[in-house]
Amino acid sequence: MAGEQEQNPPAPDSGHVLPDAAVNMRNASLAVLTVLACVFALQWAAPVFIPLMLSLLLTYALSPAVVWLARWHISPWIGSAVVLLSLVGAMGWTAWSLSASAGSLLDSLPVAAQKLRLIMLSGGKNDVSALQTVQQAAAQLEQAAEASAAKELPRRGVTRVVIERPRFNVRDYLWTGTVGLMSAAAQMTMVVFLTYFALGSGTTFRRKLVKISGASLQKKKITVHVLDDIAANVERYLLVQILTSALVGVATGLTFWAFGLDNAAVWGIVAGVTNLIPYLGSMLVMVGAGLLALLQFNSYETAALIAGSSLLIHMLVGQLLVPFLTSRTSRMNPVAVFVGVIFWGWLWGIPGLLLGIPIMMVIKAVCDHVEDLQPIGELLSD
């Protein structure tokens, strides 16, 4: 009996075991659902995440100044207040000193757009007689339509219905603009306070992240390396952006001044600020400068030269030099940088264009030091 029991094989396990292909498919489906849920959460909570990311960027940008003040035995809370007040004061003084030029610049943009539309309707003839001809023809057509409508006799049994357009109510536009301005001011106030608290707390959150990362020394080392990489990459990126934006602003202002364009200094500041918005900022400056050049010089050639020079400066400095330096400083390939900018711009609009590259740097720094996420880090690296 013992020999028979040894010869009989054991009964197979009755439990159901999934094949490897089914397990991989299930894991892939869960990963896709997780990514979609994260994207939805980021888009739904954009009013919260955008100020947080902006304050994080400002914290990395201003922390060297706070550290330098701390060497002179100045408290981080006092140093943070001094740095932020100096920054806000400098921005306010610049805006106040250039407010008159900026106001005239904004007032001239609709006039330039109207003139361009009339020139296009006149067949490209850029002279006063052509514009007057177009306006006179439009007035004659309107008078003829009114005369024919007045001669029409109402038919028997038919009620004539006249649809009146709603009157222009300036209060609606003022209310909409006021609400938008108040929302933007509230978000900027939130960013300033978040930055102040982050700068004043110093390395408190860094120590807490290292403490809660795990009990093992290996996990603490990984957390320290991740935080160091994030700080180094973001600081280098901000340095590159500040230098290249200053270069774009100075070059644009000098070029427009050489052409004789009005408000060249304001255009230089606008070009430097919009250079922080990848790809979109260059188009805004090019179109606006071209329209105002057409209004001022009344010449297609001069307008094309000014618009082309602005685009050339942005292409050489903002579109070629910045991605190259960014990819070198963050060790990310330019394709990943471009795709990241497109994705975050689609998700958050203009703030996403501004924050896309730093967010990709943070993601890459985390993926490089987490074993399960290293393939993603390799995909983003150069």
Among residues 153, 183, 202, which one ends one of the domains?
202
Same domain (yes/no): 276, 233:
yes
Cα separations in angstroms, 49 against 77, 182, 194: 24, 18, 12
DSSP for 321-366 reads IHHHHHHHHHTB-HHHHHHHHHHHHHHHSHHHHHHHHHHHHHHHHH
Domain residue limits at 50: 46-120+170-202
CB contact at 8 A, 344 and 353: yes
Tokens matching residue 23: 């397990």
Instruction: Give a yes or no: residue 300 inside a domain.
Output: yes
CB contact at 8 A, 51 and 189: no
| Rounded Cα–Cα distance for residues 217 and 226 (Å) | 14
Tokens matching residue 320: 């070629």
CB contact at 8 A, 361 and 330: yes
| Rounded Cα–Cα distance for residues 287 and 277 (Å) | 15
Return the C-alpha torsion angle 365, 366, 367, 368, nearest 10. 50
Instruction: Give a yes or no: residue 161 inside a domain.
Output: no
| Rounded Cα–Cα distance for residues 199 and 76 (Å) | 7
Residue 381, SS3 per DSSP: strand
CB atoms within 10 A of CB 277: 19
| Rounded Cα–Cα distance for residues 244 and 252 (Å) | 12
Among residues 146, 178, 202, which one ends one of the domains?
202
| Rounded Cα–Cα distance for residues 105 and 265 (Å) | 11
Structural domain count, the chain: 2
Instruction: Give a yes or no: residue 310 inside a domain.
Output: yes
Same domain (yes/no): 305, 196:
no
Same domain (yes/no): 355, 267:
yes
**Residue 62 identity:** L
Same domain (yes/no): 348, 294:
yes
pTM across the whole model: 0.66
Same domain (yes/no): 194, 287:
no
pLDDT in tens, the chain (382 residues): 444 444 555 555 544 555 666 666 777 778 788 888 888 888 888 888 888 888 888 888 888 888 888 888 888 888 888 888 888 888 888 777 766 666 666 666 666 666 666 666 655 554 444 445 545 555 555 565 555 555 544 555 555 555 555 554 445 544 554 555 677 777 788 888 888 888 888 777 778 887 887 777 787 888 888 888 888 888 888 888 888 888 888 888 899 898 888 878 888 888 888 887 776 777 888 888 887 887 778 777 888 888 888 888 877 776 667 666 666 666 777 788 788 888 888 888 888 888 888 888 888 888 888 777 788 888 887 7
Same domain (yes/no): 188, 267:
no
Radius of gyration of the chain (CA): 31
Same domain (yes/no): 223, 306:
yes
Instruction: Give a yes or no: residue 114 inside a domain.
Output: yes
CB contact at 8 A, 285 and 266: no
Instruction: Give a yes or no: residue 307 inside a domain.
Output: yes
**Residue 332 pairs with which residues in a beta bridge?**
381
